[in-house]
């Protein structure tokens, strides 16, 4: 859940929110709060800070993650569909691993406006980890493709 406030007569907006993660395969969960500052300009740059506060025994990380990202949306004619592209670089400090590490993500998707309040976004991304995110004692992550579908409601 999140809330965004656009500062009147400026290009700045602020967002804050809460995320609940459930990992059924490992019987773990995590909770996170976040805050974002963004600019309504070309490439829509944003800076987001995430803080995990879940119990480590349940899968929480008690750490921070900072994400700098850019995004671009290109509407397809008069249709309710847009092509969404994104790029980001993130820095992890004990959020979901013991050490620190960085990652780069590149993504593409289709934003489909189902009605006035609902949008569906199927997407595909490529993630490239660095630092402890690659270390077999910590993140043990490899570069990989992944995908998903996001459903948003805006009132």
pLDDT at 141 over 80: no
Please give the Cα distance from 86 to 42 (Å, whole number).
12
Structure tokens at 45: 């740059």
Which residues lie across from 103 on neighbouring strands? Answer: 90, 129
Structure tokens at 77: 């004619």
pLDDT of residue 100: 67
Closest CA to 70 of 95, 104, 101: 104
Taking the model in full, what pTM does it have? 0.77
Closest CA to 62 of 105, 95, 28, 18: 95
Structure tokens at 32: 């996170």
pLDDT of residue 40: 93
Structure tokens at 78: 């008069």
**Which phi and psi (to 5°) does residue 86 adopt?**
-150, 155
pLDDT of residue 97: 60
Q: What is the pLDDT of residues 63-109, one digit of tens each?
A: 888 999 999 999 999 999 999 999 999 988 876 666 667 889 999 99
**Which phi and psi (to 5°) does residue 9 adopt?**
60, 30
Q: What is the pLDDT of residues 10-62, one digit of tens each?
A: 999 999 999 998 888 888 888 899 999 999 999 999 999 999 887 777 766 77
């Amino acid at each position: 859940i999140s809330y965004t406030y656009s500062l009147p007569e400026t290009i700045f907006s602020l967002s804050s929110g809460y995320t609940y993660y459930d990992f059924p395969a490992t019987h773990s969960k995590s909770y996170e709060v976040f805050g974002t500052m963004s600019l309504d300009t070309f490439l829509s740059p944003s800076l987001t800070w995430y803080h995990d506060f879940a119990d480590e025994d349940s899968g929480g990380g008690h750490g921070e993650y900072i994400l700098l990202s850019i995004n671009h949306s290109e509407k397809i004619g008069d249709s309710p569909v847009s092509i969404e592209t994104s790029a980001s670089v993130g820095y992890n400090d004990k959020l979901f691993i013991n050490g620190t590490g960085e990652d780069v993500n590149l993504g593409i998707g289709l934003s489909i406006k189902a009605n006035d309040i609902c949008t569906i976004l199927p997407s595909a991304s490529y993630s490239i980890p660095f630092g402890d995110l690659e270390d077999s004692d910590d993140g043990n992550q490899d570069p990989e493709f992944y995908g998903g579908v996001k459903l948003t409601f805006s009132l």
